[in-house]
Structure 1
Amino acid sequence: MKKIGAGLIFLVVMCAALSTSAFAKQPYSSYWFPEQLLQWSPASDPDAAFNRSTVPLQDRFVGAGVNSHATKAPKVMALAALNSGTSGVPSQGSDKFGANTFTYWQYVDRLVYWGGSAGEGIIVPPSADTIDAAHKNGVPILGTVFFPPTVYGGTYEWVKQMLRQNSDGSFPAADKLIQVAEHYGFDGWFINQETEGGTPADAQQMKAFLSYLKSHKSTSMDIVWYDSMTKEGNISWQNALNDKNAMFLQDNGKQVTDSMFLNFWWKDLKSSAEKAKGLGRSPYDLYAGIDVEAKGYDTKVNWNLLFPEGEPAVTSLGIYRPDWAFNSAESMEDFFIRENKFWVGPNGNPGNTAGGQAWKGIANDVVEASPVNELPFITNFNTGSGQKYYVRGKQVRDKGWNNRSLQDILPTWRWIADSTGTPLTPVLDWSDAYYGGSSLKISGVLSHDNATHLKLYRTELKIEASTKLSVTYKTQSKPSLKVGLAFADHPDQFVFLNVKDKTSSGWTTETLNLTPYKGKQIVALSLYFDTRDTINDYAIQIGQLSIHNANDPIKPLPAVRELKAANSDFRNGIYGDARLQWKPLDQQVKQYEIYRVLPDGNEVLMGATSNHVFYVPEMRRIDKEAVTVLKVAAVNGIYGQGQASSVKISWPAYPKPTAEFKADRTLVAPGESVTFTDQSTEVTEGWSWTFENGSPAVSTAKNPVVTFNQEGVYSVTLTAANSSGQDTMTKKALITVSKEAGALKNLALGTTATADQRCGEKEGAPNAVDGKVTDNSKWCALGNLPHWLQVDLGAEHHISTFVIKHAESGGEWQGFNTSDYTIQVSSDGTNWVDVVKVQGNTAAETADAIALVKARYVKLIITKPSQGADTAARIYEFEVKGL
Structure 2
Amino acid sequence: MKKMGTSFIFLFVVCVVLSTSAFAKQPYSSFWFPEQLIQWNPASDPDAVFNRSTVPLQDRIVGEGVNPHATKGPKVMALSALNPGTSGVPSQGSGKFGANTFTYWQYVDKLVYWAGSAGEGIIVPPSADTIDAAHKNGVPIIGTVFFPPTVYGGKYEWVKQMLQQNSDGSFPAADKLIQVANYYGFDGWFINQETEGGTVADAQQMKAFLSYLESHKSSSMHIVWYDSMTKEGSISWQNALNDKNAMFLQDNGKQITGSMFLNFWWKELKSSAEKAKSLGRSPFDLYAGIDVEAKGYDTKVKWNLLFPDGEPAVTSLGIYRPDWAFNSAESMEDFFIRENKFWVGPNGNPGNTATDQAWKGIANNVVESSPINDLPFITNFNTGSGQKYYVQGKQVRDKGWNNRSLQDILPTWRWIADSKGTPLTPVLDWSDAYYGGSSLKVSGILSHDNATHLKLYKTDLKIEASTKLSVTFKTQNKPSLKVGLAFADRPDQFVFLDIKDKKSEGWTTETLNLTPYKGKRIVALSLYFDTKDTINDYAIQIGQLSIQNSNEPTKPLPAVRELKATQSDFRDGIYGNARLQWIQLDQQTKHYEIYRVLPDGSDVLVGATPNHVFYVPEMRRIDKEAATVLKVVPVNGRYEQGQASSVTIKWPAYPKPIAEFKADRTLVAPGESVTFTDLSTEVTEGWSWTFESGSPAVSTSKYPVVTFNQEGTYSVTLTATNSSGQDTIMKKALITVSKQAGEVKNLALGKTATADHACGAAEGAPYAVDGKVTDNSKWCALGNLPHWLQVDLGAEHQISAFVIKHAESGGEWSGFNTSDYIIQVSSDGTTWTDVANVQGNSAAETTDAIALIKARYVKLMITKPTQGADTAARIYEFEVKGL
TM-score when normalising by structure 2: 0.97
Residue 49 of structure 1 is matched in structure 2 by: 49
| Distance (Å, rounded) in 2 between the aligned partners of 1:776 and 1:643 | 55
Deviation, 1:24, is: 5.6
Alignment partners' CA distance in 1, 2:457 and 2:746 = 63
Does the residue aligned with 1:707 lie in a helix, a strand or coil? strand
Map of 1:663 onto structure 2: 663
8 Å Cα contact 1:677-1:704 kept in structure 2: yes
User: Contact 2:24–2:568 (CA<8 Å) still a contact in 1?
Assistant: no
Please tell me whether the aligned partners of residues 554 and 637 of structure 1 are also in contact (alpha carbons under 8 angstroms): no
Amino acid at match of 1:707: T
Partners in 2 of 1:772 and 1:99 — Cα distance? 31
Once residues 775 and 525 of structure 1 are traced to their aligned partners in structure 2, the CA distance between those partners, rounded to angstroms, is 51
Q: What count of residue pairs does the alignment treat as equivalent?
A: 862
Q: Which amino acid is the alignment partner of residue 470 of structure 1?
A: S
TM superposition shift of 1:554: 3.7
Amino acid at match of 2:832: W
- Bigger drift between 768-777 and 384-393 goes to 768-777
Alignment of 1:593-608 (within 5 A): 593-608=593-608
Counterpart CA distance in 2 for 1:750 and 1:601 is: 61
User: In structure 2, the residue corresponding to 1:189 is in which secondary structure?
Assistant: strand
CA shift, 1:326, in A, is 0.3
Aligned position for 1:870: 870
User: Which residue is 1:101 aligned to?
Assistant: 101
Equivalent residue number for residue 675 of structure 2: 675
Distance (Å, rounded) in 2 between the aligned partners of 1:818 and 1:637: 44
Matched, 1:250 2:261: no
The answer to whether residue 362 in structure 2 is matched with residue 332 in structure 1 is no
String of CA shifts for 1:802-838, please: whole Å, max 9, x gaps.
1111111222222111110000111111111111000
1:9 match: none
After TM superposition, what 4+ stretches of structure 1 lie above 3 angstroms from structure 2? none
Residue 586 of structure 1, CA deviation: 2.6
Counterpart residue number, 1:550: 550
Aligned to 2:715: 715
Give the match's secondary structure for 2:461: strand
552-561 or 257-266: bigger deviation: 552-561
Matched, 1:808 2:808: yes
Equivalent pair of 1:74/1:366 in contact (CA under 8 Å): yes
Alignment of 1:76-225 (within 5 A): 76-225=76-225
Establish whether residue 25 from structure 1 lines up as the match of residue 43 from structure 2: no
Q: What are the Cα deviations for residues 656-705 of structure 1, in whole angstroms up to 9, with x where unaligned?
A: 11100001111111111111011111111110000001000000010001
> What does the per-residue CA deviation read over 1:359-390, in whole Å, with 9 as the maximum and x for residues that have no partner?
00000000000000000000000000000000
Identity between Structure 1 and Structure 2 (%): 88
Distance in 2, matches of 1:771 and 1:263, equals 38
State how far apart, in whole Å, the 2-side matches of 1:640 and 1:772 are.
Answer: 57
- 2:240 matched to 1:240? yes
* Correspondences of 1:116-515 after superposition (within 5 Å): 116-515=116-515
Q: 589-598 or 746-755, which moves further after superposition?
A: 746-755
SS at match of 2:528: strand
Contact in 2 for aligned 1:123/1:146 (Cα 8 Å): yes
For the 8 Å contact 1:557–1:587, the answer to whether it is kept is no
Name the structure 2 match of 1:761: 761
CA distance in 2, matches of 1:587, 1:560: 13
Q: Which residue of 2 aligns with 1:833?
A: 833
What amino acid sits opposite 1:193 in the alignment?
Q
Match of 2:623 in 1: 623
8 Å CA contact retained: 1:448, 1:534? yes
Matching residue of 2:797: 797
Determine the C-alpha separation between the residues in 1 that align with 2:599 and 2:93.
26
Paired AA for residue 830 in structure 2: T
Preserved contact between residue 459 and residue 523 of structure 1 (Cα < 8 Å): yes
Distance 1:86 1:805 in 2: 22
The alpha-carbon deviation at position 98 of structure 1 amounts to 0.3
Equivalent residue letter for 1:651: W
Find the aligned partners of 2:73 and 2:743 in 1 and give their Cα distance.
73
2:19 counterpart residue number = none
- Deviations along 1:467-522, one digit per CA (max 9) or x if unpaired, are 00000000001000000000011111100000001211200000000000001000
Q: CA deviation at 1:73?
A: 0.5
Q: What residue number does 1:5 align with?
A: none
Aligned to 1:4: none
Contiguous gaps of at least 5 residues in structure 2: 1-22
Deviations 1:380-428 (A, max 9, x none): 0000000000000000000000000000000000000000000000000
Cα displacement string for residues 431-464 of structure 1 (whole angstroms, at most 9, x for unaligned residues): 0000000000000000000000000000000000
Write out per-residue CA displacement over residues 162-206 of structure 1, whole angstroms, 9 at most, x where no aligned residue.
000000000000000000000000000000000000000000000
Structure 1 Cα separation of the partners of residues 199 and 552 of structure 2? 62
CA distance in structure 2 between the aligned counterparts of 1:268 and 1:44, rounded to whole angstroms? 50
TM-score by length of 1: 0.97
Residue of structure 2 equivalent to 1:734: 734
- Partner letter of residue 318 of structure 2? G
- 2:84 and 2:813 in contact (8 A); partners too: no
Query: The residue matched to 1:871 in structure 2 has which SS?
Result: coil
- Aligned equivalents of 2:159 and 2:554: distance in 1? 51
2:62, 2:368 within 8 Å by CA — same for their partners in 1? yes
Give the Cα separation in 2 of the matches to 1:361 and 1:339. Answer: 10
Alignment-derived partner of residue 13 in structure 1: none
How far is the alpha carbon of 1:756 from its aligned partner? 0.5
Deviations 1:118-172 (A, max 9, x none): 0000000000000000000000000000000000000000000000000000000
The amino acid across from 1:453 in the alignment is H
Aligned amino acid, residue 762 of structure 1: A
1:524 Cα shift? 0.4
3-state DSSP class of the match of 1:43? Answer: helix
Q: What is the rounded CA distance, in whole Å, between the counterparts of 1:382 and 1:533 in structure 2?
A: 32
Q: Tell me the distance in 2 between the aligned counterparts of 1:254 and 1:587.
A: 39
CA shift, 1:537, in A, is: 0.3
Deviations 1:830-869 (A, max 9, x none): 1111110000111111111111111111111000111111
CA distance in 2, matches of 1:816, 1:136: 32
1:257 match: secondary structure: coil
Matched, 1:61 2:26: no
Whole-angstrom distance in 2 between the partners of 1:610 and 1:814: 29
What's 2:781 paired with? 781
1:264 partner letter:
F
Cα distance in 2 for residues equivalent to 1:397 and 1:540:
23
Structure 1 residue 647 and structure 2 residue 650: aligned? Answer: no
Q: Secondary structure at the match of 1:721?
A: strand
User: Per the alignment, in what secondary structure is the counterpart of residue 710 of structure 1?
Assistant: coil
Shift of residue 775 of structure 1? 2.1
Q: Partners in 2 of 1:232 and 1:542 — Cα distance?
A: 59
- Structure 1 residue 258: deviation in Å? 0.3
Amino acid at match of 1:500: K
**1:10 equivalent in structure 2:** none
Aligned to 1:6: none
Corresponding residue of 2:9: none
Retained in 1: the 8 A contact 2:822–2:861?
yes
Counterpart contact for 2:560–2:583, Cα < 8 Å: yes
- Find the counterpart in structure 2 of residue 881 from structure 1: 881
CA distance in 1, matches of 2:351, 2:739: 75
Q: 1:587 to 1:250 in 2, by over 3 A?
A: closer
Between the aligned partners of 2:118 and 2:31, the Cα distance in structure 1 is 11
Q: How many angstroms does 1:654 deviate by?
A: 0.7
Could you give the per-residue CA deviations for residues 252-302 of structure 1, whole angstroms, max 9, x where no partner exists? Answer: 000000000000011110000000000000000000000000000000001
DSSP 3-state at the match of 2:506? strand
